[in-house]
Amino acid sequence: MPEVLVASDARWVLDEVAAVLSGPDDVVHEVNSGAAVLPAARSLIPDLVILDMQIGSMGAMAACMELRLEESGGRLDHVPVLILLDRRADVFLARRAEAEGWVVKPLDPIRLRKAIAALLDGDIYEDTTLCPPTVAGLVASGPGSG
């Protein structure tokens, strides 16, 4: 029975995540501020934390970094973090904050379900939505190839 902590101040985000986590064994806890993430993570000990990119005055990056700092100080066990990014360019920030996964909005249930399942299984999830084609792919199909 996975316990998931979701942080967002947007009701539609909370509703979309809750809809994906609507199994009989799923337990979803919600907070509506980034500052509430660490205290909730300490008391609930969730299996996964899902952070909306912008949450009032303390967004996903700051909340994720706070979790990682507490973990590195031995004050909190490791908990995987999935960040819901507003744009593809924010992948850099998610990596710097040491999130295990990210999904680029707009959200869809299939990608969100895959990301959640991957992180709960101990894997990472890197959403490739809106990702530019690889340089190797461009060279292989460019002028003079073939």
* Residues 69-122: tens digit of each pLDDT: 999 999 999 999 999 999 988 999 999 999 999 999 999 999 999 999 999 999
Q: Name 102's bridge partners.
A: 83, 126
Nearest to 77 by CA among 36, 47, 33: 47
Prediction pTM value: 0.88
Angle at 21 between CA 20 and CA 24, to 5 degrees: 130
Mean pLDDT, to the nearest integer, of 123-140?
A: 71
Instruction: Say yes or no to pLDDT of 51 above 70.
Output: yes
Instruction: Say yes or no to pLDDT of 27 above 60.
Output: yes
- Name the average pLDDT for the chain: 90
Instruction: Say yes or no to pLDDT of 64 above 80.
Output: yes
- Report the number of secondary-structure helices (H) and strands (E) in the chain: 6, 6
Amino acid occupying residue 43 = S
Model pLDDT, residue 111: 95
Residue 132 CA to residue 144 CA, distance in Å, equals: 22
- In the CATH hierarchy, which fold is given to the domain comprising 3-141? Rossmann fold (3.40.50)
Instruction: Say yes or no to pLDDT of 138 above 70.
Output: no
Amino acid occupying residue 80 = P
